[in-house]
Amino acid sequence: MLHKMIRVLIADDSAIARDVVRAGIKTHQSKRYFEIDVVPDGQQALDVLHKKQIDIAFIDINMPGLSGPEVISAMKETKSNGCLAIAMSSDMNEKARAIFTEFGAYHFLKKPFHQEDVAGIVSSYITMTEGYPILIVDDSTTMRKLTRKILENSRFNFDISEADSAAAALKMVSTGKFRIVLTDFHMPDVDGLELAGAIRDQSSKISIYMMSTNDTTYLERSAAFIGITGFLKKPFTAQDIDTVMHKLLGLDDPNFGKVRDLFSFFERERKAS
């Protein structure tokens, strides 16, 4: 399988930090080809981000000229909008954290860090860009289109298919193609729980997520018994999908990411015990 090159930017005025990041990236060179740009200040970092589409940007918070937060906040106006931005510093104040969160930064590396920390982030990126076959099941054309758009805005790479009924969904699932199913709960004839049970009869490996606009508390025990992986309360966002995928794939939660319980009663019982 041919993988696209990964373009990485390392922006730090510390040569030591730049070398550690580069060493962490190089641990993956047997799997993917990397093009690495290394710069010592914020203005040069922004120049690179304007010039080419960067996939992963390691940005020091405190740099000469433009600071890390200023570079991150300007990133949306560059070719690299949407890249995986990693903030680096020995400390981070609340103002910087607020900027990184607002503009979609992914993670924070506290100095001094090790090449293994960098390698873990690069590994997460590689995992995100693998293809994940996913089936959207909803009788509403509008909701299927909306869900597709949300998936397309996720950091993860999905191969998206759609089904407008439980019968169509089961026929498609029987091909063995899909890894994930997102199904609406309220559908005519067969509801989401019944469909999930039928899917689970076919395969124990497919991850099933239920979409619902209503309070799902009364459904959660039945859903867990059937083998539903979790719920997505409508309206949900691409960031919620990212949270789901991090948990599904066992990836570390991003520092600036959103953590969302998939079965809220599990969390309630844990806190009560």
CATH code (residue 160): 3.40.50.2300
pTM over 0.75: yes
Task: Report helix, strand or coil for 26.
Answer: helix
| pLDDT, tens digit, 9 for 90 and up, residues 160-214 | 999 999 999 999 999 999 999 999 988 888 888 899 999 999 998 999 998 887 7
Q: 225 in a domain, yes or no?
A: yes
Give me the amino acid identity at 136. I
Asked whether the beta carbons of 158 and 178 are under 8 A apart, the reply is no
Both 236 and 199 in a single domain?
A: yes
Residues 50-85 have pLDDT tens digits of 999 999 999 999 998 899 999 999 998 999 988 999
Q: Spell out the SS3 assignment of 197-213.
A: HHHHHHCCCCEEEEEEC
Which domain covers residue 35, as residue numbers?
Answer: 6-127
Same structural domain for residues 86 and 135? no
Question: Is residue 215 pLDDT above 70, yes or no?
Answer: no
243 domain-assigned: yes
Give the position of tokens 């609406």. Answer: 184
- Whether 238 and 136 share a structural domain: yes
CA distance 162 to 156: 18
Instruction: Establish if 1 belongs to a structural domain.
Output: no
Measured between alpha carbons, how far apart are the two ends of the chain, in Å?
48
Whether residues 67 and 137 share a domain: the answer is no
Total tally of structural domains belonging to the chain = 2
